[in-house]
Structure 1
Amino acid sequence: MKKIFILASVSILIGSCATETKTEAIEVTPEQLHRSVDKVVEIMIHDIFSPPVASRIFAYPNIAAYEIMALNNDEYLSLEGQVGQLGAIPKPDSTKTVNYDVAAMVAHLELSKRLIFSEKRLETFRDSLYGIWQGKNPELFNDSKDYGLQVADFVGAWMNKDNYPQTRTMPKFTVDTDDPTRWQPTPPAYIEAIEPHWNKIRPFVIDSANQFKPAPPYPFSLEKESAFYKELKEVYDVGKKIEKEGDDSEEIQIAQFWDCNPYVSVTRGHLMFATKKISPGAHWIGIAKIASRKTNSDFAKTVYAYTKTSIAIADAFISCWDEKYRSNLIRPETLINQHIDENWQPVLQTPPFPEYTSGHSVVSGAAATALTDIFGDNFYFDDDTEVAYGLPVRSFNSFREAADEAAISRMYGGIHYRMAIEVGVKQGRDLGKFVIDNLKMTRDSHMASNP
């Protein structure tokens, strides 16, 4: 009888411990979100997404996570009615207890999985996180997961109405070989123009793709006194100067740091292969991560930072690509090889789309404006985004300074005229200001605009 009593007591004690474990609180850390974003970027590099498509992959998962977070946090405002016809997300079942941070992460991971190709790579990472949270409190985790998936379905349905599926079946871009002013494919792979219909993607905050239509490029002319030819010659002269200075020159280091070309063709004899890197948007998402870590931002502010930055980046690509295929301007490399020096090569490989305006300039201007609004001006940071690709850390005194360097890097790389850079930065900054003025995401910003 005594043995039975002892066994029963032990059983009750074990059962009690098990019950306590199953009701343990689940904490989602900013670092888990950073790791999730890093994993998605890693897979995007593997799958080779073009820069505009990559911007879409960032935006929707972040919006889904943000909407769930804002539903349970009085400091943040819903994007309902503010972003591209987005309606109110469904609310959780009132009979269930939901951890909103877990639900936000589930929605983020689920939508990311739908937008990439290598799903298994993300599922392995996702399951490792799920195992941690489920082990703390299975019932709470499962209810939170169910709600996160519900919101992912809602945002996914809204996402699928942004005209992206339709652009997959639209005609390919036709190269006008009879017009010397128009873009032509560039060496070494002579890839066809990517995403010629990106201006048809539904914008997030801007009114339309052409809302921030920039001034047109200088009139095409090969007369040596013309503004256009002077800009062409400047690209050539800068390239020759860099060539003389060698690989250790500051200009080459800047060009390589901001290269961010997801697909660089390499030819060795009869063999051609690609080296893969992050996109321009991914670099600025990396800077958002750096700023969040430096400021010890909590989970909510980290989601906010990623979301606002990714929205600015996505609209910047829509705006930039609208101009690229309107002006359809020929790249410096093509004209220099035709009219100045047939053996000249740019420091960087010319990307496969028209020249004007510079995508790096527009996107960097917009992203830097959004990040300045979040973290403040004169925000010093060490940018280690490119360390994984063998490049050293570069330091900046502000996001604006980083954007200016990203823009001029395209001149050093030999792939853009000065006007595309300078007008592009203004285009991006104007767009970024419009985003922060019209996207009310925090209670303070709403009160400031509605005193």
Structure 2
Amino acid sequence: MIFSRRHFMASAGVAGVAGLAGCTGRFGTSTSYLTPILRPQYHNVVTHWCDIILQQIRDQRVPPPRAAYNLAMPTVAGFLAANSILQTYEDPFDIGTAPLGADPAMAYGVAFATAASEVFQQPFVGERMDFANGIPESEAKSLGAAWGRQVGLKIVKMRTRDGSQPSKVNYYLNRYQRRHDALQWTPTGPLYSAKPGPAFDSFSRPLFPGHGQIKPWTMGSVENFRAAPFHDPDSPEFAGEFDQVRILGGADSRERTADQSEIALFWEDGPWGITPPGHFMLIAIQVLQNRNLSFIEWARAMALMGMTQCDASIHAWDSKYHHDVIRPETAIRHRTPKFGNRDPRVQRDRQWRSYIPTPEFPAYTSGHSTFGNAGAAMIANILGTDTVRISHQSPDQVLWPQLRDVTRHWTSLSGMAEENGWSRIYGGVHWLKDHQAAMEAGKAIANHAHAQYFRVKV
């Protein structure tokens, strides 16, 4: 299921969403993330609003953990508003009884926009007006709008004291204790840029050290899913992973294949784009589009994706700052003599640089792998199968013109997630254990959420 931008026939008259446009790029234009991957007949109210926030992630340059946080509240609010009218699934958040006869589509859009306005600090005036204008005037529409706003505000209030605001500052504030051995993370630098602007500043402060202490949506306590400790730096396991990333992940590697280099760039999802959690939300829309989902099934699927991507970010950032593990670039270039590892493969190389930019926060565990397997496992749970043939192009090609017209293919969702995680090793920014532990956590988060949340009413 691949639809290229060149061959996509834009359709402005899609049933149910005609005239839906605002400050955000409309479906069918080059700025819409859905244009190359979604057939017009499958475009609906849910995908419309998801496209809006995906574009906001890109346009506001929202970092990955915050992007994941921002996906949850709007998708959950929209689903709960519509579901309380249709009464299809269980509601663990006690939203209350919807007014009789309210329009569920109107309620969804208003609740979604109300929550999105909070997390993005963006009123979405044009988007709200054009959405409302696309639905005929009626009492059901008025009831749906009022109910949607009530639900949206309730969800915003519910998350007001969830720890998300203090998490946005790049200071430790004693929320996590630093480790004091050779594995302690320190900023990597001086860093390099990638056009059209700098990827990261040199010696940046750590990104969002408090994000791991945000209240999860589905995990309960984040400690329930926390990864086991990292390798001892003097162990043979560490020596093997040190050698692996040194050989495969260097900027000038002769061992990394052309395909592995392409994988590293394809999944980089850095600044100026959709970010990893947004990318897997987009993949979910592509995969689910022809599965005969009803409106409320679409709403539920995106809410489950939003919650688990948010929880994946909380888990990964908790693990990163709890374990406080150094990145390969700093280890290989500077820290090697302090590891006490006698394996001859653990050698210092002052000239070594990672193939893709090294992020400004600790390594263990991998956010990419957590986001990827949480997303892949949730899609598989919704479909009832992991076996899916999918072809996909990079949604953001601003930084990497090498990806233009590049299409990658997979035969399973887990295979796609595995490739996404390995991209960080090929890129030289993660240890193998970062990936392996994160894959386990991502799948566990998704499986738990699917089993416990929004079950069909009996």
TM-score, reference length from structure 2: 0.78
Q: Secondary structure at the match of 1:172?
A: coil
Q: Distance in 1 between matches of 2:173 and 2:254?
A: 37
**Sequence identity of aligned pairs in percent?**
23
Unmatched 5+ residue regions in structure 1? 1-25, 81-85, 264-275
* Cα displacement string for residues 315-358 of structure 1 (whole angstroms, at most 9, x for unaligned residues): 12212211111110110011112242222221111111101111
Q: Secondary structure at the match of 2:165?
A: helix
From 273, 281, 284, the counterpart of 1:285 = 281
* Cα displacement string for residues 388-412 of structure 1 (whole angstroms, at most 9, x for unaligned residues): 6553332221211111111111100
In structure 2, relative to structure 1, the CA distance for the partners of 1:350 and 1:326 (3 Å cut) is same
Q: Does 1:304 align with 2:300?
A: yes
Amino acid at match of 1:311: M
Query: What are the within-5 Å matches in structure 2 for residues 124-203 of structure 1?
Result: 124-133=126-135, 136-137=136-137, 139-168=139-168, 171-172=171-172, 179-187=181-189, 188=191, 189=201, 190-203=203-216
Counterpart residue number, 2:6: none
Counterpart residue number, 1:255: 264
The answer to whether the Cα contact below 8 Å between 1:173 and 1:192 also exists between their aligned partners in 2 is no
Counterpart residue number, 1:401: 415
Q: Does 1:357 align with 2:359?
A: no
Cα displacement (A) at 1:157: 0.5
Counterpart residue number, 1:110: 114
Larger helix share, 1 or 2: 1
From 360, 379, 386, the counterpart of 1:377 = 386
Q: Distance in 2 between matches of 1:382 and 1:142?
A: 42
Q: Distance in 2 between matches of 1:438 and 1:114?
A: 27
- The Cα RMSD (Å) is 2.6
Counterpart residue number, 1:72: 85
Single out whichever of 337-346 and 176-185 deviates more from structure 2: 176-185
The answer to whether the Cα contact below 8 Å between 1:373 and 1:436 also exists between their aligned partners in 2 is yes
Cα displacement (A) at 1:245: 6.9
Q: Distance in 2 between matches of 1:58 and 1:332?
A: 30
The answer to whether the Cα contact below 8 Å between 1:346 and 1:415 also exists between their aligned partners in 2 is yes
From 237, 240, 253, the counterpart of 1:230 = 240
Q: Secondary structure at the match of 1:164?
A: coil
In structure 2, relative to structure 1, the CA distance for the partners of 1:92 and 1:277 (3 Å cut) is same
The answer to whether the Cα contact below 8 Å between 1:387 and 1:393 also exists between their aligned partners in 2 is no
Cα displacement (A) at 1:298: 2.8
Bigger-Rg structure (1/2): 1
Q: Distance in 2 between matches of 1:67 and 1:386?
A: 29
Alignment coverage as a number of residue pairs: 389
* Cα displacement string for residues 157-185 of structure 1 (whole angstroms, at most 9, x for unaligned residues): 10112121344579536897975321111
Cα displacement (A) at 1:71: 1.8
The answer to whether the Cα contact below 8 Å between 1:367 and 1:432 also exists between their aligned partners in 2 is yes
Q: Secondary structure at the match of 1:277?
A: coil
Query: What are the within-5 Å matches in structure 2 for residues 402-441 of structure 1?
Result: 402-441=416-455
TM-score, reference length from structure 1: 0.79
Q: Secondary structure at the match of 1:397?
A: strand
The answer to whether the Cα contact below 8 Å between 1:65 and 1:104 also exists between their aligned partners in 2 is yes
Q: Distance in 2 between matches of 1:435 and 1:90?
A: 22
In structure 2, relative to structure 1, the CA distance for the partners of 1:170 and 1:240 (3 Å cut) is closer
Counterpart residue number, 1:336: 332
